[in-house]
């Protein structure tokens, strides 16, 4: 059973994840803007999943309630401090995305961090963000075919760029040994025994 109390090491790891992904998110904005100029507005939905990855990486490593939500909000807050032009709505968006991912981990009672669960968390973040952008940008006025395409692309992006890529990042970090002694390490050792 996981202790509900966070250790100093877990808090530090959450802060590092937030800071690293804040920088990566700022860079990803540039990729998205260039892609949007070339391919049009649906590129937001194709690219969106990458903005969910901090929540998935943090949850898979720390394995405690709130890790997904806090990592996403922290990354957005740091991104804002680094000069993102999005303003405070960036933190609101991140909170909604983080809550969508966190809901999936909550559904497993924070006990499963398998690849399918991580991909589902990416889809959970996509669903929450789609509902938010539907209201914020009046998606109801869009053509139904475009709306379906945007929804499907965002869910796929969440599963692949959020969940699958998050899994790849966590696996790479685990192989280095830097996650030794954390809950992820304890779980893996117990499963191998």
Enter the CATH code of domain 8-192: 1.10.1760
- Domains of the chain, by residue range, sit at 8-192
Which pLDDT score, from 0 to 100, does residue 51 have? 97
SS3 string of 134-179? Answer: HHHCCHHHCCHHHHHHHHHHHHHHHHHHHHHHHHHHHHHHHHHCCC
Tell me: pLDDT of 42 over 90: no
Distances (CA, A) of 83 to 13, 32, 88: 23, 17, 11
* CA angle (55, 184, 28) in 5-degree steps: 30
Which pLDDT score, from 0 to 100, does residue 26 have? 94
Instruction: Calculate what percentage of the chain has a pLDDT beyond 70.
Output: 98
The pTM for the full model equals: 0.95
Tell me: pLDDT of 177 over 60: yes
Tell me: pLDDT of 64 over 70: yes
Could you tell me which residue, 130 or 31, shows the higher pLDDT?
A: 130
Which pLDDT score, from 0 to 100, does residue 24 have? 97
Which of 62, 98, 101, 103 shows the shortest CA–CA distance to 77?
Answer: 98
């Amino acid at each position: 059973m996981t202790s509900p109390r966070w250790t100093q090491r877990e808090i530090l790891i959450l802060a590092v994840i937030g800071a690293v992904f804040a920088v990566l998110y700022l860079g990803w904005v540039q990729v998205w803007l260039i892609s949007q100029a070339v391919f049009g507005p649906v590129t937001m939905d194709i690219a969106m999943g990458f903005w969910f990855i901090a929540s998935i990486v943090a949850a898979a490593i720390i394995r405690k309630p709130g890790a997904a939500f806090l990592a996403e909000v922290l990354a957005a807050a740091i991104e804002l401090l680094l000069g993102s032009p999005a303003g405070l709505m960036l933190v609101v968006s991140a909170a909604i995305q983080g809550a969508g991912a966190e809901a999936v981990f909550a559904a497993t009672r924070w006990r499963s961090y398998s690849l399918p669960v991580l991909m589902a968390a990416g889809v959970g973040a996509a669903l929450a963000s789609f509902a938010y952008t539907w209201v914020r940008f009046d998606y109801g006025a869009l053509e139904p075919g475009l709306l379906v395409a945007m929804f499907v692309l965002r869910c796929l992006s969440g599963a692949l760029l959020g969940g699958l890529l998050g899994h790849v990042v966590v696996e790479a970090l685990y192989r280095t040994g830097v996650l030794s002694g954390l809950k992820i390490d304890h779980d893996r050792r117990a499963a191998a025994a």
